[in-house]
């Protein structure tokens, strides 16, 4: 079992413990809710079981067999395929920013690049960053970083989300020492 599969299995087991329900029971609760949209189901799980955003989102993906990695794997998409798919049309100009940032991150040491439906997740034992196109012609960089205060540039995200911070890039010069420093710190903490 690779580290990502192990992490998923652990998270699902923890969800069972937190809710007091088996995964089959939780899937039934979701189906019987009549809700269809991911966000609505996620909110119902947060309210009903007190789950965090990430756990509730994982449970929706599990119940609907819809997580981005599984979708990419089922379609036989590699990281390169996913990048080619997500950086098309109006998002194509963001690809060089992605490549510049990845070139800097590659120097940190070993990590996994896990393709998702609309972004890539960067992982060691845990996810330390995620990269993908955002709206308004910006590259979104999610960073899992603890013990740091947010800034105007390092935007704090609500608790329980996939990342604690986000940074948005529009120009090559924004791939700078400050951003690389934050990501390096997240990389070191993802053991």
Q: What is the pTM of this model?
A: 0.67
Looking at residues 116-126, what average pLDDT do you find?
87
- Measure the CA–CA gap between 148 and 145, rounded to whole angstroms: 7
Looking at residues 145-173, what average pLDDT do you find?
92
Report phi then psi at 106, rounded to 5: -55, -30
pLDDT of residue 54: 76
> Do 36 and 96 sit in the same domain of this protein?
no
pLDDT of residue 2: 55
pLDDT of residue 165: 97
Question: What is the extent of the structural domain holding 29?
Answer: 3-66
pLDDT band at 177 (very low <50, low <70, confident <90, very high): very high
Residue 179 lies in a domain: yes
> Do 53 and 102 sit in the same domain of this protein?
no
For 45-81, b/e burial (b = at least 16 CB within 10 A) is bbeebebbbbbbbbbbbbbeeebbbebbeeeebeeee
**190 contacts 127 by C-beta, under 8 angstroms:** yes
Residue 73 lies in a domain: no
pLDDT of residue 171: 94
pLDDT tens figures, 55-89 = 887 888 788 776 555 555 555 556 677 788 889 88
Domain count, the chain: 2
**What average pLDDT does the chain have?**
86
Residue 19 reports pLDDT greater than 70: yes
Looking at residues 112-126, what average pLDDT do you find?
86
Residue 154 lies in a domain: yes
DSSP code string of the chain: --HHHHHHHHHHHHHHHHHTS-HHHHHHHHHHH---SHHHHHHHHHHHH---HHHHHHHHHHHHT--HHHHHHHTT--HHHHHHHHS-GGGGGGHHHHHHHHHHHHTT---EEEE-SSSEEEESSSEEEEEEE-STT-EEEEE---S----SSSEE--TTSS-SEEEEE-SGGGS-HHHHHHHHHHHHH--
> Do 103 and 142 sit in the same domain of this protein?
yes
- Residues near 113 by Cβ (< 8 Å), separated by ≥ 6? 79, 120, 121, 122
Residue 138 reports pLDDT greater than 60: yes
pLDDT of residue 67: 56
> Do 109 and 161 sit in the same domain of this protein?
yes
Measured between its terminal Cα atoms, the distance across the chain in Å is 17
Looking at residues 103-131, what average pLDDT do you find?
90
> Do 83 and 171 sit in the same domain of this protein?
yes
Burial class (CB in 10 A: 0-12, 13-18, 19+), 41: buried
Residue 142 lies in a domain: yes
């Amino acid at each position: 079992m690779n580290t990502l599969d192990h992490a998923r299995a652990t998270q699902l087991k923890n969800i069972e413990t937190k809710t007091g329900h088996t995964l089959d029971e939780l899937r039934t609760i979701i189906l019987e809710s009549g809700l269809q949209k991911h966000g609505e189901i996620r909110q119902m799980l947060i309210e009903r079981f007190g789950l965090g955003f990430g756990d509730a989102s994982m449970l929706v993906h599990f119940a609907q067999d819809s997580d981005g990695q599984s979708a990419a794997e089922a379609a036989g998409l590699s990281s390169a395929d996913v990048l080619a798919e997500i950086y098309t049309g109006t998002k194509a100009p963001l690809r060089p920013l992605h490549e510049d940032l990845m070139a800097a991150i590659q120097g940190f040491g070993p990590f996994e690049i896990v393709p998702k439906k609309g972004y890539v997740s960067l992982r060691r034992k845990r996810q330390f960053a995620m990269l993908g196109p955002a709206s308004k012609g910006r590259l979104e960089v999610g960073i899992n970083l603890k013990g740091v205060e947010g800034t105007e540039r390092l935007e704090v995200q609500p608790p329980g989300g996939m990342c604690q911070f986000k940074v948005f890039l529009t120009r090559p010069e924004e791939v700078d020492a400050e951003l690389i420093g934050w990501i390096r710190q997240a990389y070191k903490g993802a053991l």
